[in-house]
Chain A
Amino acid sequence: MFLTIDTNDARSIYQQVADGIKGLIARGELKEGTALPPVRQLANDLGVNLNTIAIAYRELQKEGLLAVKHGSGAVVASLTSTERSQDELLRPLRTALTELVLAGLKPGKIIEIVVQELRTVTKGSK
């Protein structure tokens, strides 16, 4: 169960932390109710500023993936508890698909890529 931070990645560190945790939840490595390290501890471990982790956790909380309780830290929320609409959820997929079409990929190839990526993302989840 690893978080990866890449300095060559165009995303900011907080975004990489948030995406990394999302990936772990999607793969089932972080299950519902699992406690995440406190903000202070994760910032200490990664060697980053406190705000970087606080922003990442806040984003995950806003998306309904984390439940932050005062005193007991952050825990992985129920995946069904997300309050975002389907349209909101599909928006990044549409953007990514548009990019792939504009890159000249055929629909069959795009479906193949999507299926492969889906396998990678959900690897380990039941």
Chain B
Amino acid sequence: MSQDQILITLFLLNAGARIRGCFRRWQQPVLRGPEWFFNVPVQSDFYNGEGRRILQHYRMRMFAPIAIEALLTAAIFISGHLIYLYWLVMAAAIAVHVNHLFSVDLAERQARKFAVPEAEQPVSAVMLSLTPRRLRDYSNRNVERFIIFATVAATAWLVRYYLRSPAPHDIRTVFGVPALLIYYQLGFLLVKYGIVTRRTPIPRDQAEEHLQTREEARKLHLKSLDWLRVFSTVTLMFYPFILSAPQEKRSFFVSILWITTLAVSVVQAVWQEVRRRAVLKTSLRARPMRMPDFLHTENSSRLVCYQPGTPMLLIRGARGYSLNLANKLAQIGAAYVAGLIALLVLLQMGH
């Protein structure tokens, strides 16, 4: 299989996997029935009047990143630089989620004008769990051992190959892809840490249901991340074989990696869908409630702000949310992105 064929298959596989997500986001506003719009309890005639327009606009906004992606895909195919498909897939995955976050918030704010007045009052009492949550409580020891062992073994093999091989090798050819994979691994760990340590208050009413929903959602996200981490490690394990194999055998190893990728992706997609349905079932038991705003500060109209006095990652802003750069996770995330860009520039230099 050529590199272009792999990229096209990867792109198609990703597009196929995202179809279910499109349906889910399409259905999401009305999941709780006609009395609800997302988590806003609406009046009975909401969907006959203004609600219909709000729903349509939300759904149209959902397709905005896909439309942009389609245009960029066409441009990439016309240019013939199919390697950009890889970056497009990554950027699209982030864009879809960010767009979803802002679109839901915007649609909910529009719908609140038509909400059932008494049900829209924020709850008066909230609870926050102080029970510590540690990364190791949500980690499978065998998975962690496998990741560490495979990473160390693959790196050692590559170092040995680089030092002992009779033919000289470019350091970027040998270590470029593994460095990127290990850096991704760090990023997954960072996200995992963020999910484990993130706490938000829950309403005192129906506290049990809300706790259970959050715990199940947390476990689903963390296990999905573990899938990605294992997958990234498997790719790293294959890399020394591909690199050190004779030219005529390389395509054999690439094919094995490719079949593994395909199999893992299918199993993961099925598993995730089953688990997601279970989480959804639990979440429907917990009635959404509006949380009180303890800050009473003026909403920032910018997408990014710096408010050291209010250390939350996301602060409610005039446009939905404002990313607070005074938050430690935001700072680590920004440093991670800067490091990724620096690594990519370093890998591209001289090529």
A-to-B contact residues, CB < 8 Å: 1-8, 13, 24, 30, 35-37, 40-41, 43-52
Contact = CB atoms under 8 A, between A and B. Distances in A.
Given A3-B128, A41-B311, A46-B294, 5 more contacts: A5-B294, A24-B130, A44-B313, A47-B201, A49-B295
Given A44-B311, A50-B310, A7 B200 contact: no
B303 interface: no
A4 B327 contact: no
A41 B196 CA distance: 13
Nearest to A45: B199
Given A2-B129, A5-B294, A51 B309 contact: yes
Contacts of A37: 130
Contact of B128 (A5, A6, A35): A5
27 contacts: A1-B130, A1-B131, A2-B127, A2-B129, A3-B127, A3-B130, A4-B127, A4-B128, A5-B128, A5-B294, A7-B125, A30-B130, A37-B130, A40-B328, A41-B197, A44-B311, A44-B312, A44-B327, A46-B201, A47-B200, A47-B294, A47-B295, A48-B294, A48-B295, A49-B310, A50-B311, A52-B294
Nearest to A50: B309
Interface of B: 122, 124-132, 197, 199-201, 204, 291-295, 308-313, 327-328
Contact of B292 (A2, A4, A7): A7
Given A5-B201, A5-B294, A7-B292, A46 B128 contact: yes
Contacts of A46: 128, 201, 294
A2 B130 CA distance: 6
Contacts of B291: 47
* Shortest beta-carbon contacts, A-B, top 10: A45-B199, A6-B125, A2-B127, A8-B124, A48-B294, A44-B311, A1-B130, A7-B124, A3-B128, A1-B131
